[in-house]
Structure 1
C-alpha cells in the first residue's frame, strides 16, 4: 500500500511538471531536433519506469514528448528518483480482482489438437482448481456459452514466451479482451517440454487473477503499463521471499523443468484473494444445440470443491418429459433423449452450502 501511495504522489508531481512544460511550450513552441543523437539511456530508463513506452520518446530541446501528447522536462528527469519503499521480493497483487468465480477458458482447435499444449493447459487448469480457492476453471471448445479468457497462439516481441492481462485491464497486452497470448513458434524453437509450457501457462493465469511478479518490486516494475494502471499491493500474510513461486518474472529453461507449479505461498496468495465461501456458482457445460449422440455423454458439476450432493433435472414441457437425479457421485450420465427442446438444471450441495440452480435450454437434434 505504501508503494501505491508513493506512485500516486509521482503522478501528482508529474502532472505539475507537465502543466508547467505545456505553458512554456505554448509561448515558445519547441521544434524537434534534426538528425537527433540517440537519447541518453538514463532518460529512457526513467521514462520507462514511469510506465511509458521508450519507443514513443521524442526529444525537443529541453523536453521529451512521450506517447505524442505527454511532455516531460529533462530538468525534471535529472533530479527525479522513483521512490521504492522497502522492496522485499514478495508476493503482491493488482488493485482489481475478479468479480466472478467460474472462469471459462476458450481453447481453439489449434490447442486441443496439439497434444503437448493441450496436456500443458489441462495440467495448469488442474493446478489452479486444486489450489483450494473459490475459483473454478473450465476449458471450453465452443464460444456459444460465453467465455471469460481466450488462449491465442501468436508472435510476440523478443524473447517473450507469453503475455496476459490483469483484472480490470483487458487490453494490457494489446489485444482487446482478456487473453493469454502464447508465442508458440519461439517456445517450439526452444524445445520446451509440456511441463515447462504448463509452468508458463500457470504463470500467465496467475496474472489474469491479479497476481504480480513475486519479484516485481526488486525488479523495479512500475504500477502501470502503457498508461494503464495495474497497482501493486503486498499480501500482509506473506512476509517472506518465495523463490519457488510460479509468479517469478524470469523462466530459466535450463534450471526449471516445470515439474512443480504452484508453491505453498502461491496457493496462500490466491486463497487470500479468493477465499472459499458459500457464494457458489455453477453452469452447464453443453452447447445450446446438440446431436442426440453427443448429448447423452457424461456431465460434471462446474464447481470443483468438495461436493456432498449433485442434483440434475431434465424437462421437456412439450412432451411432459421429466428426469431427475440426486447423487453424491459428481458424474452424471445423461439419458438418451429424443429430438426436442429440453431445460437442463443442476445445483450442488457442499458440506456447508447449497448453490442456486443453474439452468440451460438445449435443443437435441
Structure 2
C-alpha cells in the first residue's frame, strides 16, 4: 500500500515517491535491475508498470502487490482482457475456499504492539459475518505478518489456485511505526489482507484517483480484475481497497466494500 500526503489526492498503501538506488559497481546495479521483459510481463498480467520495485525475489507493483518470477512466467500463456471501468470493487480469478477460518500471526521479527493491530483487523472482518472467519494465533498463521523495508507501507499477494489465502504480509514498520496508531495500522493491514483473500485495488484501472500522478490503463490480465456486481460505477473515495492512503487515515469498510465482501464471502 502506498502513502500520499493530504495535500495531494488521498489513496492507499505505499510511501510517496519511488525508491532510487545508486551504486558505484555495475554488477550491483545489474542485480537489482528490472528488465524490459519483466516489465512487459507485469503489464500482461494486468498491473501498472510504473514505479516497479525489486524486493528480494519479488517485484512490488502498484505500490503494494508482490509478484514473483513464477507469476510472471504465466503472463503470456493465458492473457485475457480486463474490464476497463471506473472506481468499483474488483476481485482476482482465484478466491479463498469458504467457509473456513483464516488465522493471522506475527513473525518473531514483528513488534509486539502489532498484536493489537491484528486484533482490530480481525474484529473488522468478523463484524461483517462473512463465511471467512478471522482469528489471531500465536504462530504459524495462514497469513503471517513480517517486517520489510522499502518505499511501501506494506505488501501482499493474491490467493492460490488451490483456494488458500496468500500467506504473508510484509510490513514496513519503520514507515508505519513500531508502536503505531492502531486504527491507522489496522487500515493498512486490512487492505493487505484484502489482497490475500482476492481483492484488487478499487482504482486498479486508474490509480491516479487515489495516488495522484498520470492516468494508467493496465491492458490485459491473467490474474483477473473481475467487477463485483452491485458495486458502484462512480468514484468511491472511501474504499478500504484504494491504492494509496493519507497519513494517519482510518478507513473502515464502507457500504460498497460491505457489498463486495458479502458478495464474495
TM-score tier by shorter-chain length is 0.5 to 0.7
Q: Which has the larger radius of gyration?
A: 1
Unaligned runs of 5+ in 2: 1-35, 55-68, 74-79, 208-216
Deviation for aligned residue 1:55: 8.1
* CA deviation profile, 1:256-313 (whole Å, cap 9, x unmatched): 521x321111111111001xxxxxxxxxxxxxxxxxxxxxxxxxxxxxxxxxxxxxxx
What's 2:204 paired with?
Answer: 216
- Please name the residue that 1:235 is paired with: 228
Say if 1:169 and 1:182 are closer, same or farther in 2 by CA, change over 3 A: farther
Structure 1 residue ranges without an equivalent (≥5)? 1-41, 57-66, 71-81, 171-176, 275-365
Partners in 1 of 2:137 and 2:168 — Cα distance? 14
Greater relative contact order structure (CA < 8 Å, 6+ sep): 2
Please give the secondary structure, in 2, of the residue aligned with 1:137.
strand
Work out the CA distance in 2 between the residues paired with 1:97 and 1:203. 16
In the comparison of the two structures, how many residue pairs are matched?
A: 190
Is the counterpart of residue 92 in structure 1 residue 90 in structure 2? yes
- TM superposition score normalised by structure 2: 0.61
- Give the alignment of 1:194-343 within 5 angstroms: 194-219=182-207, 220-221=217-218, 229-240=222-233, 241-253=235-247, 257-258=249-250, 260-274=251-265
Paired residue for 1:134, among 131, 155, 161?
131
User: Quick one: distance in 2 between partners of 1:84 and 1:142?
Assistant: 38
Partner Cα separation in structure 2 for residue 210 and residue 99 of structure 1? 11
Match of 2:143 among 149, 152, 156: 149
Equivalents in 2 of 1:119, 1:130: separation in Å?
Answer: 16
- Aligned-pair distance for 1:197? 0.8
> C-alpha separation between the residues in 2 aligned to 1:152 and 1:245?
25
